[in-house]
Every structure is written in structure tokens, then in C-alpha cells.
Amino acid sequence: MLLLGGIFAVVAGRFCDRFGLKMTLIIGLAGSALTGLVFRTGDPVGLSLLLFMMGAASGPWSTAGQSILIRAVKPTHLGLGGALYFLSNTLGNSLGSLCTGLIKTDWSFAQIGVVMSVGMLGVIALAGLFLPGDRTPVERAKMAESESLWAAYKPLLARGEIWLLLSLRLTITTFWGMATLAMPLLIYRVAQSESMAAYFAAVSLVVAAACQLGAGVLNDRLGHEKPLLISAAGICLSAVGMAFFHDSLTGLFVCGTALTGTAWAVSTLVPKLINDVAAADEKNRVVGLGHMAWSTSMVSGSLIGGYLVDLHPASPFALGALLAAGGTLGAWRLCAYLDNRPSAA
């Protein structure tokens, strides 16, 4: 599903350009409304089709959602806006899990699925009613010039600053994919307790929320360079710590929590970086590229992490430190580009 979301995020970037952010978001939300139907079918073919459609819909949802964020929030407040945007997703998932836990004893999964689908239909209706129309006319010549998907993205892929931006996803997110698989597994192995891994998840997410808000506020006040480079360097140090203390519960908790907080801090800053790098008519497509890079990196990181953690517990974090160092270098070069270019895009 992650790969499907990444592939369709690229398509969604072009769709946003042609038909607007509102229409693209509603398409993504419509796919999410299918989630509840998963609990009402036992047919493998039908289930596979639903999962395919849900994965594909996550691309338009993410692309349009972040593009709306970039368009709606002033650049001077986009750091905090990005933090609140990602936090709302985390809090929404937490609230949904809490509600499911409270009603599961009295409701069947099929009944919960109906409520989920009906609830999403309500969200779609609200989006249709209250989100303003946003499609701007595009010159015929320009539309013809970028009619195909490849023609629309080719100029972006030829630019070094776009690749510097994507390098954050291709390096740091790949490591994060490895870490999200390896950290709870190692904590369970060291503590021999399933609940300890759950405690770690709770603590690390609370710290991550604080880091997101802090990074967003600092980005708005100090600019992109210090929050981005400090967060990226923190990922490197956390990875080194995890490699050294992979057999210590305290070390795993401290370094793992630091890694979670700094990784989420970097992710929070990405919408502002997209806004700074891309021109007004490029932002939707750059968001799509970024989501594709994120999806691909998460999948590849999970696969690599699952293989390496069985070879040696420290190996995912040793490789992760190298990846994070590469990401930090890319972040430094991107900041240098943004600071030295003649004018803002």
C-alpha cells in the first residue's frame, strides 16, 4: 500500500495542477472511505481490490493535503503549520484507536467498519462544502507543453535542488524505515516484555510531538538552517548510540526516543522546504515527488532493516548512521542553495 501511495502521489501532483487541490483531496478521501468495507468482506479478491484502492487513494490524499497546507499557511508560519498538520494525523490515529478499543467489546468489526465508512463520507461532505475551489486557469500552451506525466516532471528531475530535497527522504526516511522495525523488536528482545515496546512507543511519540512543535516554531523564528541541520545531526548521533547500546534497555529507550523526536522534526520541516524550493506552479508536483520518495524509502528501509537486524542487532543503525550523515550533508547543501540563490522561487 505504501508503494501504491507513492506511485499515485506522482499522478496526484499532476492531477492537482489540472483539476485543483479540492478535487484531488476528495478523491483521496473517497478511497479512505473504503477502509470500513475491509471488515465486511472475506473474499480474497474483493479484499485485495479494496486494499489496492485504499493504497492508491493515499497518494492523492497526502499530496493534496500537504499542498493545501502550503497554499493556506503563510510562509512565515509554515514551520508551525507543518508541525500541527503532522500532529493532527498522529492524534487522529490515536483517537481512532482509543475509540475502537472502547467499543470493541460491544461492537463487531463489521459494525465498526460501517461507522468508519459513514464517518468518512461525512468528512468528504464537509470537504466538498467548506473547502474553497482552487483551480486556476492554465495557459493552453503551457498545458500542452506538459500534457504527459513525464513532460510535467522531467524539468523538476533535472534540477539539483530538487534532488537535494529528495535526498532527505531517500536517506533519512530509509533509515527511519529500518528503525521503526528494529527498535520495538530489540526492546522486546532485551526486556522480554511486549508491554515495554508499547511503553517505548508511547514515550517516544510524546517526545516526538514536542520536537515537532519545537522545530516548527524555531523554523519560523530562526529560518530553516539551524532546526534542519540540528535535527539531522541528532539523527546521526542517535543512530550511533543505538548501534553501541543495542543490548541496553536504557540505551535503547534514550537513543530510540531521541531518534524518533529528531526524525519527526525533520519531517515537519519538509513542507516549508518544498515551499522554498518550488515555484508556485511546481509545488503540487514536488509534493508528489516527495511522497513517492518517502513511500519508496519506508518500504525499502523496512525490508533492509528486517534483514540486517537478524544478522547483527547493531547493523541497521550502523548503516542508518551513514545514511543520516548523507542526509545531513544534503540538508546542508540545500540550505546553502536556499541562502545563496538570487531570489526566492
Domain ranges for the chain: 2-149, 156-339
Mean pLDDT within 251-266: 94
Average pLDDT value for residue range 202-217: 90
Task: Mean pLDDT check: name the lowest of 12-21, 143-152, 263-272, 291-300.
Answer: 143-152
Best CA proximity match to 165, nearest among 326, 34, 9, 331? 331
Higher pLDDT, 263 or 148: 263
Range 303-324 average pLDDT: 94
Give the separation between CA 246 and CA 252, rounded to whole angstroms.
6
CA max distance for the chain? 64
Indicate the helix (H) or strand (E) that contains 312: none
**Model confidence, pTM:** 0.88
Whether 40 contacts 336, CB under 8 Å: no
- Where does the pLDDT of residue 332 fall: very low under 50, low under 70, confident under 90, or very high at 90 and above? very high
pLDDT tens per residue across span 234-243: 999 999 999 9
What number is the average pLDDT over the span 317-339? Answer: 95
Q: What is the mean pLDDT of residues 172-198?
A: 90
Distance CA 324, CA 238 (A): 10
Better-scored residue on pLDDT, 195 or 176: 176
Q: How far apart (Å, rounded) are the C-alpha atoms in residues 42 and 108?
A: 14
pLDDT at 342: 65
Q: According to the model, what pLDDT value does residue 258 have?
A: 95
269 touches 336 (CB < 8 A): no
Is it the case that residue 142 has pLDDT exceeding 80?
Answer: no
The class that CATH gives domain 2-149 is: mainly alpha
Lowest mean pLDDT among 76-80, 100-104, 153-157, 282-286: 100-104
Contact 112, 104 (CB under 8 A): yes
The DSSP H or E segment spanning 133 is: none
Which residue type, as a one-letter code, is found at position 58? S
Quick one: pLDDT band at residue 141, thresholds 50, 70, 90? very low
Same fold, 2-149 and 156-339: yes
**21 contact partners, CB below 8 Å, separation of at least 6:** 64, 67, 68, 71, 134, 284
Q: Note the pLDDT of residue 135.
A: 56
**Domain 156-339, architecture per CATH:** Up-down Bundle (1.20)
Distances (CA, A) of 186 to 247, 248, 250, 321: 8, 9, 12, 17
How large is the average pLDDT for residues 175-204? 88
